[in-house]
Amino acid sequence: MKYILFGIVVLTVALCEAHLCLLNPHQRGTMNGINTAGANDCILLDGPCGGRKAMNPVVIVQAGEPFYVVFQKNLDHFNSTSPGKFVVSIGANSAEPSFQQVGMIADSNTTSLHLYTLNVTFPKMSTDHAVVQVTYVTNNPKAPPVFYQCADVLLA
């Protein structure tokens, strides 16, 4: 019984260790509590978009032009022996999207609620409704391997 309780505590801590919020473009769903470390809207574990359905695009992005993606490490989980990374990708809005990486930032020993800004250029695509995906690859055996956020954009 003692080992079962210990396992539950370890799993609970691991699930609460790393969160990712996507601020620009606006992530699917809400941004409730993002100024609080450990916000529920920032812990999405199911790929490709955390289980959240597509929304109507509210941001227009010029294909081939620089665009600033802003995201937040909502709760710090830096692994100094094997640092993770944040990956920005884009794909067509479809049932099984295929994503193309457009940028990456290595995880570092930053505090909870730290904001990252990444200047990316989105390629021209055969669709105007695209999905921007940001993933946090933790490289930490004590945490889930990947956290997901997506935003729907209109490519012009």
Angstrom distances, CA of residue 131 to CA of 21, 51, 150: 15, 14, 6
Please, are residues 100 and 126 in contact by the beta-carbon 8 Å criterion? no
Q: Given a cut of 70, is residue 74 above it in pLDDT?
A: yes
The CA dihedral of 6, 9, 14, 17, to the nearest 10 degrees, is -140
Q: What is the mean pLDDT of residues 131-150?
A: 91
> Is the pLDDT at 98 greater than 80, yes or no?
yes
What's this model's pTM, rounded to 2 decimal places? 0.85
Backbone angles phi, psi at 131, to 5 degrees: -120, 125
Query: pLDDT at residue 6 above 50?
Result: no
- Which of the four pLDDT bands, split at 50, 70 and 90, describes residue 11? very low
2-155 CATH = 2.70.50.50
Over residues 107-116, the pLDDT tens digits come to 999 988 999 9
* pLDDT higher than threshold 90 for residue 75: no
Q: Where are the domains of the chain?
A: 2-155
- Looking at residue 112, what is its pLDDT? 86
More confident residue, 1 or 153: 153
Find out whether 146 and 45 touch, Cβ atoms under 8 Å. yes
| Three-class HEC string of 42-85 | HCCCCCCCCCCCCCCCCEEECCCCEEEEEEEEEECCCCCCCCCE
Tell whether the model's pLDDT for residue 96 goes beyond 50: yes
* pLDDT (mean) for 18-44: 90
pLDDT the model gives residue 142: 84
* Average pLDDT over all residues of the chain: 86
Contact yes or no for 13/77 (Cβ under 8 A) = no
Burial of 107 (0-12, 13-18, 19+ CB in 10 A): buried
Radius of gyration of the chain (CA): 16
- Does 58 or 66 have the greater pLDDT score? 66
d(CA 22, CA 153): 13
Average pLDDT over residues 82-109: 92
